[in-house]
A = this chain, B = another copy of it.
Amino acid sequence: MTLIVDFEPVGLRVEVEEHQTILEAARTILISQTNALNAPCGGKGLCGRCKVRVSSGSVSPPSAVEAETLSPEELKAGFRLACQTEILGPLLVEIPAESLSGRQDLQVEGVDVEAAVNPAVKRYALRVRPSTISYPRSAWQQVLEGLEAEFGIDGPSIDLSLLRGNVPVVPTEQVLTVTVRDHKIINYFRSYPAPKSLGLAVDLGTTKIAGYLVDLESGSTLTSDAAMNPQIAYGEDVMSRIMYCSAGQDYGERMASLVRECIRDLVQSLVSRIGADSRQVEDAVIVGNTAMHHLFLELPVKQLASSPYIPAAAFPMQVEAHSLGLPLAPGALVYFPPSIAGFVGSDHVAMILGSRIHQTDEPTLGIDIGTNTEIVISTPTQLICCSCASGPAFEGAHVRHGMRAVEGAISEAKWTSEESRLSYRTIGDAQPLGLCGSGVVDAIAELVKVGIIDNKGLFDRDHPCAQTDGDGKNAEFVIVPKRLSGTGEDITITQGDVVAIQLAKAAIRSGTELLLSAAGLAKDDLARVLIAGAFGTRLNLESALSIGLLPSVPIERFENVGNAAGTGARLALISLPERKMAERIARATRYLELTAVPEFSATFARSLNFPDLM
């Protein structure tokens, strides 16, 4: 039975089937809008963030999850979790502002890089005929003989699941299309031409998971999307997730399933968007930091949490997609590029590959800023990298009014002398809700520039524009007064926020300096500085330079390479030589363990200060 659901205040109407959930209904219509219904847990009742109010209409009774998540008052007022609530009749649903967040400002498009298409899987068309007493060969037998005779494939074999699932004789002569990888048939179609051969590239991040669907024949990216990493429910950072896994017998399995389900959903959404089927996805590459890689593959992680931070497997791996819960083509494998160290994962290898920094003929620095920031220096004779524990401040965490880079986040700020205040700009030009990383960096850089914050990071309490908070103990600076804020509170920069940013930028700055010194270079030798990652894209370079986050080289030497890791993953997907190149990069890159460098502490301490700009 088809039912009508109206969503307010967005004013959208959707037709659904009885017993669909409100979340499912919302997804069919809100997914492509700027505003979407929050569901970071993917609709599993874990996050409680898809709260809506059923204004009128008939729905299923509250579930146990809702009874736990919502207060009795909320339930009485008609509030429900959209993921838990089945539609039983025509509905009017109200989505509260806090549930209707902006879409992630996700970096899913990398820089375009040229590469010859040469994927791990190849398609072949073979004519088969009916089996008879005088020609007693199954269709599979004919295909194998054809692969050997017509295409010179030595000793071909067939994935067992294909043999099991299909009738081994054909009623009439026909052409089959088979997909072969490493002498093994991993997929087939009873037609020629067959539906497109697709590949999946995934950048499996601690916070977000980006997926790309690629045409393996042309090498072009057909569509891409991203989702929050659902493991966030077990900790924002990798350490807490590792600790969680070490706490119980099957906790590792649980963590792995969370991400697998998320990627499975991502694949489904990607293929359905282009009208394809997940059976067409015949190859996959997944890159990620070492912890995400290990958690996904259910490898031991405990040793990643303490010095010397040894990955169980830093080498490249190939694993059957089905054994990882990914319903791709029957015999599809997932390729996991190698990593370099416990805190320099295959995502960094993919970043090097995707940014082409390894091919540079002048000293080049590459920085991928995140909770963990990886830095690499490439010269014609060496590749050397390190990892800095920069923390989540640049992603808006550990900052009083920090938030992710979603709609309503202040992403830019500038001092306005006339008004003695910071003017700002929000993502989506929406009412301000908080500051994302680039907004915090801008704000602090500007406050340092005008002297409200000194070069040790302390607020000048005597400055006319500074103020202290309620009990007068802590200095802060109001950017958005209560009356203009979307949260009903002042949006401020606090002394604590400044310290968080100082720690983060000192980690990156000292890493850069020690890496330069290990490479035998001075900062002025750097011909280029490549900034990768989502935060890097939004970052105001002048602000970053003025607080000392980045090395002070002329601004024109900086270059934004976007999500180079995603680009690298796609390169490894469409080209076997690129895959080999990733393996060579991992082997060739020297890893500098910063905590083992004697000058580390002193350099870090010195880097905490802001450069004297007076």
- Interfacial residues, chain A to chain B (CB-CB below 8 A): 131-134, 136-138, 140-141, 144, 157-158, 160, 163-164, 166-169, 297-300, 303, 307-315, 317-319, 323, 341-342, 591, 593, 595-596
* A168→B133 contact, CB < 8 A: no
| Sample of 16 more A-B contacts, CB < 8 Å, known A136-B309, A140-B315, A168-B299 | A133-B596, A136-B308, A136-B310, A136-B593, A138-B310, A138-B312, A140-B312, A141-B313, A157-B315, A158-B315, A160-B319, A160-B323, A164-B298, A167-B300, A168-B300, A168-B312
CB-CB nearest in chain B for A166: B300
Q: Please name the residue on chain B nearest to A318 by beta carbon.
A: B157
What are the nearest 10 A-B pairs in CB distance? A168-B312, A133-B308, A131-B310, A133-B596, A138-B310, A133-B593, A136-B308, A169-B310, A164-B298, A169-B303
Give A167 to B166 CA distance when docked, in angstroms.
41
| Residues of B contacting A299 in the complex (Cβ-Cβ under 8 angstroms) | 163-164, 168
8 Å CB contact of A312 from B163, B298, B310: B163
Rounded to whole angstroms, the CA-CA distance of A137 and B309 in the bound complex is 10
Let me know if B342 and A168 touch, CB within 8 A: no
A515 → chain B closest CB, angstroms? 16
Say whether A167 contacts B303, CB under 8 Å: yes
**Shortest beta-carbon distance from A337 to chain B in Å:** 14
Smallest distance from the beta carbon of A293 to chain B beta carbons, Å? Answer: 11
The CA of A18 and the CA of B123, in the complex, are separated in Å by 61
User: Is B298's CB under 8 angstroms from A168's CB?
Assistant: no
Docked Cα-Cα span, A131 to B307, in Å, equals: 10
The SS class assigned to the A binding surface is loop
Collect the chain B residues with CB atoms within 8 Å of residue A307's CB: 133
B163–A313 CB distance below 8 A: yes
CA distance A310 to B139 in the complex (A): 9
* Chain B residues with CB below 8 A from A309, complex form: 136
The residues of B that contact A167 with a CB separation of less than 8 Å are 300, 303
Partner of A313 from the list B138, B311, B342, B593 (CB cut-off 8 Å) is: B138
Q: Beyond A133-B308, A319-B160, A593-B133, is A138–B168 a contact (Cβ under 8 Å)? A: no
Cβ–Cβ contact B131 & A168, under 8 A: no
B144 engages A315 (CB within 8 Å) = yes
Q: Tell whether, in the assembled complex, residue B138 and residue A596 are in contact, meaning their CB atoms are under 8 Å apart.
A: no
Q: How far is the CB of A51 from chain B (nearest CB, A)?
A: 39
CB distance from A260 to the nearest CB of B (A): 14
What separation, in Å, do the CA atoms of A141 and B342 have in the docked complex? 13
Nearest residue, chain B, Cβ from A136: B308
Q: How far is the CB of A599 from chain B (nearest CB, A)?
A: 15
Expressed in whole angstroms, the Cα–Cα distance for A312 and B596 within the complex equals 60
Residues of the B chain whose Cβ atoms lie less than 8 Å from the Cβ of A313 = 138, 140-141, 158, 163, 168
29 contacts between A and B (CB under 8 A): A132-B308, A133-B307, A133-B308, A133-B595, A136-B308, A136-B309, A136-B310, A136-B341, A136-B342, A137-B310, A138-B303, A138-B311, A138-B313, A140-B312, A141-B315, A144-B315, A157-B315, A157-B317, A160-B297, A160-B317, A163-B299, A163-B312, A164-B297, A164-B299, A164-B300, A167-B303, A168-B299, A168-B310, A169-B310
> Chain B CB within 10 Å — which of A136, A314, A595 has the most?
A136
The docked-state distance in angstroms from the alpha carbon of A422 to that of B257 is 72
In the docked arrangement, what's the CA distance between A496 and B148, Å? 52
Q: Provide the bound-state CA to CA distance between A158 and B316, in Å.
A: 10
Assembly CA distance A136 to B299 (angstroms): 17
**Is there an interface contact between B160 and A314, defined as CB atoms closer than 8 Å?**
no
Residues of B within 8 A of A166 (CB): 300
- Chain B residues positioned under 8 Å from A140 (CB to CB): 312-313, 315
> CA A595 – CA B132 in complex, angstroms?
13
**C-alpha gap A134/B169 in the complex (Å):** 60
Please give, as numbers and ranges, the residues of chain B lying within 8 Å of A308 by CB-CB distance. Answer: 131-133, 136
A314 touches B138 (CB 8 A): yes
A163, B166: Cα distance in complex, Å: 33
